[in-house]
Amino acid sequence: MKSWKARFFAIWAGQQASLFGSWIAQFGLVWWLTQETGSATVLATASLVALLPQVLLGPFAGTFVDRLPRRWLMVWVDCGIAALAGLLAFLFWADAIKIWHIYLVMALRAAGGGLHWPAMAAATSLLVPEKHLTRIAGLNQTMRGLLSIVSPPLGAIAVSFLPMYGVMGIDVFTFLFAVAPLLFLAIPEPERVAAARPTYFSDLREGFRYVWNWRGLFLLLCLAALLNGIAQPMGSLLPLLIKDHFGKGAMELGWVESAWGIGVVLGGLFLAAWGGFRKKIHTILLGVVGMGVGFFLVGFLPPGWFYVALGLFLLTGLMNPIANSPFMALVQSTVEPGMQGRVFSLMSSMAQGMAPLSLLLAGPLADLFGVRFWYLVGGGGFLILGASAFAVPALRNLEGSRPVAAAVENGHT
């Protein structure tokens, strides 16, 4: 028992430290673009170049994850991302930085993240016993919540007291914490049958067939994509909700974001202690319905009820890890290890790919009907999807359908 804990948490802690440095660097880059250009188009373009590589490359990246040793893939990706941060640090130091340099580095870092995230997620299922996967996923959500609370103010302090090359140097330094454990600690690899996987493209097709032929898994990924598409505009429209509807300012917006982050931390801790229902899908759908209630009620609030909204965003933040963490654990525990890289990257691409479409739709609807309209639509969508999913046998019985799915994949009926 101690062996898996010591090995996993050494790797996990290093990855969290590196992520912390990356978030500070990201904050610094966005703030520099804001100060230098004052252009919403520049900031929107930065968001787009950081999103598109994962959308476009995700399904293909997962095949590499399943074909290569995950430990060394993570090492090389971490080294590459650190080298990119070092390059930006040099350009800032030499006063030779251009906006397109930042765009290019953001795109390359996003592409690296598209390899690193499914590799770490797939490695987790090989390092951690199945019964602990939900707790580990809850712990991951807790750390994300903590980072969302502490990274912006620490990033603001960093850009106030350090030159930009110093800010980027933080990212270079923290990458050492991610790589060092991986150099000394082995990660188990799934059994690979060379005769069944002769080429990269056969692996790619196999990944798509695996998801398509497993109805419950396919529906789960579609559910995640729809929920992510609904949620993205609510985050983007939040400043307008605070400013135009509640008549508040930047300080109150910060309170709402902090309330969300605190809720995520509390929800992650609660889930880590509880472990969720025996069937992970029940825990997931409880979280989805809970988030739907919070968002839907926000859409009904009159302008003077800001502090009620603050409490509702705390509630939705708390429900977020209850929905997301068991989702990760469910995929990790049901999908065979040799397929997880492809499934995780396909899941990420489907979820991220919904964001541009939903943002294009939500903007005009919010302009036409008011910003609260999308919270009513989004909250209602969460409620309908979460409640109706309980009535879908393929989703309810996903964990028990693994042997059938494996038989179909191998060509047996």
Domains in the chain: boundaries: 2-182+198-403
315 to each of 250, 295, 349, how far by Cα in Å?
A: 21, 9, 28
- pLDDT of 413: 33
DSSP state of 245: I
Dist. CA 221–CA 209, nearest whole Å: 14
pLDDT tens track for 353-405: 776 677 667 667 777 777 788 888 888 989 998 888 888 887 777 776 653 43
Ranges of the chain whose pLDDT falls below 50: 1-2, 40, 193-197, 403-413
- At 58 the pLDDT is 64
The answer for residues whose C-beta is within 8 angstroms of residue 153's C-beta and 6 or more apart is: none
2-182+198-403 fold: Growth Hormone; Chain: A; (1.20.1250)
- Comparing CA positions, the residue from 56, 2, 70, 44 lying closest to residue 353 is 56
- For every residue of 98-159, DSSP letters joined together read -HHHHHHHHHHHHHHHHHHHHHHHHHHHHHS-GGGHHHHHHHHHHHHHHHHHHHHHHHHHHH
pLDDT in tens, 248-295: 765 676 677 778 888 888 888 888 777 778 888 888 889 989 999 999
pLDDT given at position 293 = 92
d(CA 321, CA 272): 10
Is 190 within 8 Å of 123 (Cβ atoms)?
no
Whether the Cβ atoms of residue 310 and residue 256 lie closer than 8 Å to each other: yes
Cα separations in angstroms, 316 against 234, 253, 286: 12, 16, 12
Does residue 297 sit in helix, strand or coil?
Answer: helix
**Global pTM value:** 0.61
Please say whether the beta carbons of 322 and 272 come within 8 A: no
